[in-house]
Chains A and B, each alone.
Chain A
Amino acid sequence: DIQLTQSPSFLSASVGDRVTITCRASQGISSSLAWYQQKPGKAPKLLIYSASTLQSGVPSRFSGSGSGTEFTLTISSLQPEDFATYYCQQLNSYPITFGQGARLEIK
C-alpha cells in the first residue's frame, strides 16, 4: 500500500498568513493526488485534483504542486473560513489511501 505522510500534522496560523502543507508518498504516484478540506461535523470538500488542478468553485488562494513523491498545498492568504483539517489522497493505485490529516488552527 502507498503511505502518505503529511507535515505538519498540526499548525497554528493567523488570518492573512501564507501556509504550506506537505504530503509525501512512500512511492511515486505521478500526479494522482488530491487535497480535501474538512470542517468539524461536515463531509470533506475537494479542493485540488491531479496535484495542481483547482476544483471548480474553490477560491484561487488555494494551490497545489508536486509530482512523484512530494506534494504541497498552499493557502496564499488565510481567511477565517480556512481553519479546518486538510487531507491528501492518492488515487494512483489500490487501495486508495489518505494522509493522516493536517489540522490548521487560529493562532
Chain B
Amino acid sequence: EVQLVESGGGLVQPGGSLKLSCAASGFTFSDHYMDWVRQAPGKGLEWVGRTRDKSNGYTTEYAASVKGRFTISREESKKSLYMQMNSLKTEDTAVYYCVRMHKRGMDVWGQGTTVTVSS
C-alpha cells in the first residue's frame, strides 16, 4: 500500500525550531518529487516547498513565506522526507501534509501533523 506518515509536530514557542518527518512506503521514493503543504486552522491550502527526484538532483524550491527559515531534505535509504523549521512564527501554525507528486498532480497525502506556534 502506498502510504505517507508524518510525525514531529507539536507545540513550540515563537522563534523556536521543529523538525517534521515523513515516512514513505509502497513506492519507489527516489522517483518522485515530494512536497510539503500546510493548512492553517479554518483556512485553505498553502504550498510550502518541494524536493525534486533523484534524476533532478534532489534540488529544492520554497514558498517565499518560509524561504530561509525552512529546509527540506530527504534520506533515500530510509525512504524519508524531512522539513527543518527554524525561527517559527505564530503564522506557521497549521496542519502540515507530506505529499507525493505524480505526473501533474499531488496524488498521495499523509494524514498530516499539527504544528502550533504559541507562547
A residues adjacent to B (C-beta < 8 A): 1, 32, 34, 36, 38, 43-46, 48-50, 53, 55, 87, 89, 91, 94-101
Q: Is the CB of A34 within 8 A of B44?
A: no
Q: List 12 A-B contacts (CB under 8 A).
A: A34-B104, A43-B110, A43-B112, A44-B97, A44-B106, A49-B103, A49-B105, A50-B103, A53-B104, A55-B105, A95-B64, A98-B44
Q: Is the CB of A98 within 8 A of B47?
A: yes
Query: Which of B46, B62, B105, B110 contacts A98 (CB under 8 A)?
Result: B46
Q: Is the CB of B111 within 8 A of A43?
A: yes
A46-B105, A95-B63 known; A101 vs B44 contact (CB < 8 Å): yes
Q: Is the CB of B107 within 8 A of A46?
A: yes
Return the chain A residue nearest B107 by Cβ: A46
Distance (whole angstroms) from the CB of B104 to the closest CB of chain A: 4
- Give the B interface residue count (CB, 8 A): 21
A99: which B residues are within 8 A, CB to CB? 44
Q: Is the CB of B109 within 8 A of A98?
A: no
Return the chain B residue nearest A6 by Cβ: B44
Distance (whole angstroms) from the CB of B20 to the closest CB of chain A: 15
Q: Is the CB of B47 within 8 A of A96?
A: yes
Q: Is the CB of A43 within 8 A of B97?
A: yes
B61: which A residues are within 8 A, CB to CB? 94-95
Q: Is the CB of A32 within 8 A of B46?
A: no
B105: which A residues are within 8 A, CB to CB? 34, 46, 48-50, 55, 89, 91
A32: which B residues are within 8 A, CB to CB? 104
A89: which B residues are within 8 A, CB to CB? 45, 47, 105-106
Distance (whole angstroms) from the CB of A55 to the closest CB of chain B: 7
Report, nearest first, the 8 A-B pairs whose CB atoms are least far apart.
A49-B105, A43-B109, A96-B47, A34-B105, A49-B104, A98-B45, A50-B104, A46-B105
